[in-house]
Structure 1
Amino acid sequence: MKKIIIIFSLLALLTGCDNGLDPEIYGSLTPANFPKTESEYELYTLEVYKPFTSKWGYSDGGISQNLFWGYEYSNVQLNDACTDLMSVAGAQGLFQEISKANFLILKNENTRSHIEKIRYISKITTIIGDLEKATTISETAKARFIAESKTARGILMYHLLTMYGPVPVILDANLIGTDAEKNLTRPERGTYVNGIIQDLLDAANVLEKSPSQYGRFNKGLALTYLMRTYLNEKDWSNAEIVGREIVDLGYNLVSNYKSLFVPSTERNTETIYAISTDASANGGGLLGNMNAYSWYCYPVDFPGITQNGGWLGPNAFFTASWEFYDSFDPADKRRELLIPSYLAVNNRGGIPAGGTRDRSNMSGAVIMKYPDVETSSFARGNDIPLARYADVLLMLAEAINNQDGPTSEAIGMVNSVRSKHGGLNNLSAGDTATKDAFAAAILKERGWDLFFEGYRRIDLIRFGKWNQALQSVGKTPGPALFPIPEYKIQQSNNKLSQTDGWQ
């Protein structure tokens, strides 16, 4: 199998079988006997990867949890579907309300809510504390395991910050199991952000660019999230410093944009880190990660490559808005992953098989970013990028522009993305005439290159364009951050304050 499959079950360490009969229990795991060896500490560390999977969800202490890189409540849904990039979803309920940018529905979330990742951060803190005290593993292995754990913690904290603002987390293992866990008061923003920065700095100082095992966290990923954190806080100077450090690692843009999202070429010079998926997976059990986006993006009568039709009709769960489709230069090769018309392969979408689906009867263009090239089942083996070099170049151009205006270097970074991925000419003189004009061009370029990768809401907030962008596609903007679910506020005895705008 081409993928790394991280298995969290310790069953093999607990039981054995005698002549194929009932299992014989040899012992139980306790802090006194596990972990002890270096291989056991590595297995223990791999628990930090559990939220970095692409399945239907994961279990944390018996509580089912949503995933940032899953499907429902994913980064794509929470950061792209609610913006100008995508039209209102065909499904009722959760999908439709979030696609309208109506986040009120999130107030009524249950314990699957992403806010519960504050508990997982405590778990990671415990793992880090145990690793720091370990005496039976090499210092090299200890440093690597701690770096992986801090990468996971820093990334989770970053995403929670972009969703809710600062949230209560425990970063000191000595406080786990004390009354500190009951204190759900929000920390000061600076304290919280410094926690993210320190974790990612520590991790980047240890991790390699290319670990021997594909799918393990790497230096480029830690640095990319560090850069995103600085950018989110509008610390342009430090964002530039980190961006240049990533450039020095030697990544390069690919010349075929489509190749970034198909299994045969998903390992390339541009993708810094991706969630490894497997076509034999089904979203559950120990079969590994899956990519089921074609089922969410294809209308029920869509003629795929190996898959005819998705789950929903006549319009899919995720659909690109016509305004976004029309914003592309018609010559832009990246627009080829958005399908404006097709002939129906069946009558399940409300028109006869062979009939034409187009603007007259589609809510938007079909998103084909992860094409069904590998299998006819609902799962795909298309890896899901978390960090790409094109994103780094566009962020670096943004950081430079906010300090020095549209320098030739920053303009060249944007033009390289346009040329390599879109096959387009350089930006016009008008696009680079002023700092504001160049910022607008960068934001457009980010949409065209990073659509359906889960960045847009965060970008619009940072660029100050949230209201304007939503109104341009007929959506009604409200608060851009998400409300804390009511159950969590009650659980905290009202110590956890509601997100601004949702009081």
Structure 2
Amino acid sequence: MKRLSTYLLAGVALLSASCSDFLDTAPKDALSPSTTWKTEVDAESFVVGCYNGLLDPGSLLYLDCGSDIGYNNFPWEGWRVWGDGSLASSNTGASFYNFAIIRRCNTVLENIDNVEFSSPAKKADLIAQVKAIRAYRYFIMNWWYGGVPIIESYSTAEEAQVPRNTETEVRQQIAQDLDEAIASINVAPSVRGRIAKGAALAIKMREALYYEDWAKAKNAAQDIINLGQYELDNDYENLFRLSGVDSKEVILADQRIENIFGLGTIGQMYNNADAGWSSIVPTQNLVDMYEMDNGLLKEEAGSGYDETHPFANRDPRMDMTVLFPGQEWRGSILNTLDEMVDNKKNINYPLYTDNASKTSLSWAKYLDPIDQYSNIWNTAACVIVFRYAEVLLSWAEAENELNGPSAQVYDYVDAIRQRVGMPKVDRAKYATKETLRELIRRERCVEFAGEGLRRADILRWKDASGKMVAETVMNGELKRITGTVNYSETDPYKRATVTGSALIETRKFEPKNRYLPFSQTGVLDKNPNIEQNPGY
């Protein structure tokens, strides 16, 4: 199947070069509708332009740095403030407040009737794609900011200075766009990377799940299941490699072409010795969340956990997700624990340089093997936005919240676990809604680690007292392991001998951090009708 990225190269210039900035806001098209919007090619080009920046693979890879399972070392990259809680109107870090794509979508919807199509079905599909794109962008902003303006077409910056709509009103706009899109969108995409019915339903499912609209989330997940297009890939590891881009598990992914329309964020993820920056790294908190391979938590009696060798006998997804010390890597042994190796300074030692992982860990997803890329700074890595495992776990979470444990809930969770060789769920141990809830939450974390879902999950999940889970897991000291690598040990999972821990940073999370602040200079000064989120 052809990739959408191929068409982006031809079509994006039509839109991206023609924008000026309003409300940080609403870009105004400089191209005249009187000289464009004549043919199907015009319409197709504008629709392709709506995809430019939509799936945002860089942000997807960075997002877990704003959670307990990820860390970003460089403040200028915009994600460290998400993690350490120092967000402010003067220091918002990475921002999702941008109406450029929404304005492009509005332009398409305003002008597409000027084009005569050879097929009404093609026109209906293009309109549906645009509405799904607009819904996705509103969903992202609404979730992170809690109500944003629903913009129309404006001819001046002053007209664009409109107040925020409520979070509920934006959700209604999203629902309307998605329902209309799903009704007429193609069942399958003609080009890989296009939004078709499965992806539109996935947006609906995730949005509903985040807002605890359990019945809606379950129904959308069921509709995806009923399509019969997707299935779990038998090879979990391969999903995140170039060889896995056509996996039937992938519902929607960003599309890249190496050295032509490549993704450079991958280079930023590799450790120092691999010529990377260690910008995006996992934490020991993530490793601690994996069950043992016998299905027990490391804290449980009989688990077999050895704190001296924390990587041994864990859920196989740990090895497929995290590059850890002692592991065989690029023909040698990965060592991020010893300051000196062979009487030389270890350039992967956390304190050697800024470009060495401060957690002693790196991601394996999208990075392993490194030789799949001829240029780690301009890769063809296709970062996944939605995959079928999320559908099954979303269905299970929603059904458990609605009705408690059931055979189907267990079966879907078992399918996720057994795909990597983990034992089935212990029905007796996880027999109540509350205990099964904790298992499903843990499964979401370890299954999707590094894929950008964790921050939203710990914001939406509450503990027994009603507090956001983030208020617990994002407050306190973030630490790395310390110790040595035993080169005489043949078991790669036991080569790392852990003797202690060291502080990386102290983190803080307050209830106000549920929503992001609006930038004072970037948003509030440009649009005085926007009210800042409470606490900032």
Q: CA deviation at 1:133?
A: 4.8
One-letter amino acid of the structure 2 residue matched with residue 140 of structure 1: A
Counterpart for residue 320 of structure 1 = 282
Alignment equivalent of 2:460, drawn from 440, 459, 462: 462
Q: CA deviation at 1:501?
A: 3.0
**Deviations 1:33-90 (CA, angstroms, capped at 9, x unpaired):** 312111221112211111226xxxxxxxxxxxxxx322xxx1332x310211124x33
Counterpart for residue 494 of structure 2 = none
Change (3 A) 1:85 1:113: closer
Partners of 1:141 and 1:321 lie apart in 2 by 47
Q: Does 1:69 align with 2:57?
A: yes
Q: CA deviation at 1:279?
A: 1.9
Alignment of 1:173-212 (within 5 A): 175-177=153-155, 181-212=159-190
One-letter amino acid of the structure 1 residue matched with residue 532 of structure 2: Q
Counterpart for residue 366 of structure 2 = 370
Contact 1:185 1:497 in 2 (8 A): yes
Partners of 2:31 and 2:438 lie apart in 1 by 56
One-letter amino acid of the structure 2 residue matched with residue 157 of structure 1: Y
Counterpart for residue 446 of structure 2 = 448
**Deviations 1:130-153 (CA, angstroms, capped at 9, x unpaired):** 114544553222111111111110
Partners of 1:458 and 1:227 lie apart in 2 by 14
Change (3 A) 1:404 1:211: same
One-letter amino acid of the structure 2 residue matched with residue 310 of structure 1: G
One-letter amino acid of the structure 1 residue matched with residue 257 of structure 2: D
Specify every segment of 5 or more residues in structure 1 that has no aligned partner in the other structure, as ranges. Answer: 12-27, 54-67, 281-286, 302-307
**Deviations 1:436-458 (CA, angstroms, capped at 9, x unpaired):** 21111111111111111111111
Contact 1:489 1:496 in 2 (8 A): yes
Q: Secondary structure at the match of 2:362?
A: strand
Partners of 2:121 and 2:43 lie apart in 1 by 13
One-letter amino acid of the structure 1 residue matched with residue 275 of structure 2: G
Q: CA deviation at 1:293?
A: 3.9
Specify every segment of 5 or more residues in structure 2 that has no aligned partner in the other structure, as ranges. Answer: 15-29, 292-312, 327-331, 353-357, 463-468, 479-506
Partners of 1:501 and 1:122 lie apart in 2 by 30
Contact 2:13 2:49 in 1 (8 A): no
Moved more, 484-493 or 335-344: 335-344
Q: Secondary structure at the match of 2:525?
A: helix
One-letter amino acid of the structure 1 residue matched with residue 65 of structure 2: A
Counterpart for residue 17 of structure 1 = none
Alignment equivalent of 2:267, drawn from 295, 307, 324: 295
**Deviations 1:301-342 (CA, angstroms, capped at 9, x unpaired):** 2xxxxxx3313xxxx211211121122133422111312115
Q: Does 1:252 align with 2:287?
A: no
Alignment equivalent of 2:246, drawn from 243, 267, 271: 267
Counterpart for residue 150 of structure 1 = 131
Partners of 2:212 and 2:452 lie apart in 1 by 20
Partners of 1:459 and 1:247 lie apart in 2 by 22
One-letter amino acid of the structure 2 residue matched with residue 328 of structure 1: Y
Partners of 1:179 and 1:374 lie apart in 2 by 47
Alignment of 1:10-25 (within 5 A): none
Counterpart for residue 526 of structure 2 = 491
Q: Secondary structure at the match of 2:252?
A: strand
Alignment equivalent of 1:476, drawn from 505, 508, 514: 508
**Deviations 1:452-492 (CA, angstroms, capped at 9, x unpaired):** 11111111111121112213764321213210111211221
Contact 1:147 1:207 in 2 (8 A): yes
Partners of 1:51 and 1:45 lie apart in 2 by 13
Counterpart for residue 424 of structure 2 = 426
Partners of 1:37 and 1:133 lie apart in 2 by 9
Counterpart for residue 22 of structure 2 = none
Alignment of 1:42-121 (within 5 A): 42-52=44-54, 68-70=56-58, 74-77=59-62, 79-87=63-71, 89-94=72-77, 97-98=80-81, 100-104=83-87, 107-108=90-91, 113-115=95-97, 117-121=98-102
Q: TM-score scaled by structure 2?
A: 0.76
Q: TM-score scaled by structure 1?
A: 0.80
Partners of 1:194 and 1:264 lie apart in 2 by 39
Q: Secondary structure at the match of 1:369?
A: coil
Contact 1:36 1:136 in 2 (8 A): no
Partners of 1:275 and 1:161 lie apart in 2 by 22
One-letter amino acid of the structure 2 residue matched with residue 447 of structure 1: C
Q: Does 1:383 align with 2:365?
A: no
Contact 2:109 2:127 in 1 (8 A): yes
Contact 1:325 1:365 in 2 (8 A): no
Q: CA deviation at 1:8?
A: 2.9
Q: Secondary structure at the match of 2:49?
A: helix
Partners of 2:477 and 2:414 lie apart in 1 by 27
Q: Secondary structure at the match of 2:70?
A: coil
Partners of 1:225 and 1:3 lie apart in 2 by 21
Partners of 2:73 and 2:256 lie apart in 1 by 27
Partners of 2:92 and 2:70 lie apart in 1 by 23
Change (3 A) 1:415 1:10: closer
Counterpart for residue 11 of structure 2 = 8
Counterpart for residue 402 of structure 1 = 401
Partners of 1:152 and 1:405 lie apart in 2 by 34
Contact 2:142 2:167 in 1 (8 A): no
Q: Secondary structure at the match of 2:384?
A: strand
Q: CA deviation at 1:181?
A: 3.9
**Deviations 1:99-157 (CA, angstroms, capped at 9, x unpaired):** 533252564459x9431x22431331121121145445532221111111111101111
Partners of 2:233 and 2:272 lie apart in 1 by 33
Q: State the percentage of identical aligned residues.
A: 24
Change (3 A) 1:298 1:248: same
Partners of 1:335 and 1:179 lie apart in 2 by 50
Contact 1:279 1:381 in 2 (8 A): yes
Partners of 1:33 and 1:359 lie apart in 2 by 57
Partners of 2:143 and 2:407 lie apart in 1 by 31
One-letter amino acid of the structure 2 residue matched with residue 274 of structure 1: A
One-letter amino acid of the structure 1 residue matched with residue 85 of structure 2: N
Partners of 1:327 and 1:359 lie apart in 2 by 22
Q: Secondary structure at the match of 1:432?
A: coil
Counterpart for residue 24 of structure 1 = none
Change (3 A) 1:177 1:294: closer
Change (3 A) 1:96 1:344: farther
